[in-house]
Amino acid sequence: MAPHSRDEAAAPGPDPDDPRLPATSWAVLGMLAFEQELSGYDIKKWADWSLKLFYWSPSFSQIYGELKRLERHGYVTSRTVMQDDVRGKRVYAITPTGREAVRTWARTAPVETPVLKHGVLLRVWLGHLTDPTRLREIVAEHRDNSERRRAEAAVDTQAAHNETAWAYPEIALKWAERYHAAERDLADQMLRDLDDLQASGRATAPMPLAAGSASAAGAGARVAGDEEG
């Protein structure tokens, strides 16, 4: 008989280096490690309450995709719980193998440098293409968004404080509150830097868009075609 593949095995051992288990898989498995049966909807709510402030804001399709992956690895089990005579929902629970796997990952995974992809900073970097007033509006909107996230993290930190099981999530949420406060303050400083740049006379005028550039390109292509004909 041909040997089983790892996905077909009933209870594979922990393998933190498995490339088919990205960090998002461990995030979902970690939520189940709080010893609660959770539906995909519950996981989505929890992620939107906490994880989105510092790591991940998943879609339902991502969550259910990760749950299927974890179930194939034997890291979670699922069952259907009837909500009434007609409707049921599928809930998931971590297995002992899954608990050991996520413990191993949390203890031994490499400490990676966070990836910074800052869309607002990219637009400031391309500031010579934007009107200064519009650029200030972009940065000011980012500052206001950061303050909203900070306030949200503060509320969630307090909620976590009231639950003994969430002592470590509370620490992560405190970090998120400080992070978004720093992002807000950095945006305020960037607004001052933009004002200083304007006052210094070093700011270049926004690069003008070529009038009718798209239509001109089309006309040029037609002319070239006529000449070839």
- Fold entry, domain 23-108: Arc Repressor Mutant, subunit A (1.10.10)
* pLDDT at position 223: 44
Query: Taking phi first (over 0 means left), then psi (-120 to 50 degrees means alpha), and beta for anything else, what does residue 120 get?
Result: alpha
- Residue 120 Cα distances to 1, 152, 228, angstroms: 57, 21, 46
HSE, side-chain direction, 13 A CA sphere, residue 200: 9
In this prediction, residues 13-27 reach a mean pLDDT of 68
pLDDT tens per residue, range 45-76: 989 988 889 998 889 999 999 999 999 999 99
- Predicted confidence at residue 16, as pLDDT, reads 45
Which residues are CB-contacts of 91 (< 8 A; sequence separation ≥ 6)?
A: 37, 38, 39, 42, 78, 79, 80, 81
Structure token pair of residue 171: 């620490």
Contact 76, 93 (CB under 8 A): yes
Strands 76-82 and 38-39, by their bridges, are unpaired
Under 8 Å between Cβ of 146 and 187: yes
Identify whether the C-beta of residue 16 lies closer than 8 Å to the C-beta of residue 109.
yes
Amino acid at 8: E
DSSP element (H, E) containing 50: none
- Stretch 3-21: mean pLDDT, rounded? 45
**Beta sheet of 88-94, edge-to-edge order:** 38-39, 88-94, 76-82
Greater model confidence, 214 or 36 = 36
Phi-psi region for residue 16, left (φ > 0), alpha (ψ -120 to 50) or beta? alpha
| Residue boundaries of the structural domains of the chain | 23-108, 119-200
Structure tokens at 57: 């804001």
At 116-161, the pLDDT tens digits run 899 999 999 999 999 999 999 999 999 999 999 999 999 999 999 9
Q: Quick one: tokens of 76?
A: 């979670």
Q: What CA–CA distance (Å, rounded) separates 6 from 18?
A: 11
Q: Can you give the pLDDT at residue 14?
A: 45
Residue type, 229: G
Q: What 3-state class would DSSP assign to 38? A: strand
The phi, psi pair for 208, rounded to 5°, reads -70, 145
Task: Identify whether the C-beta of residue 63 lies closer than 8 Å to the C-beta of residue 40.
Answer: yes
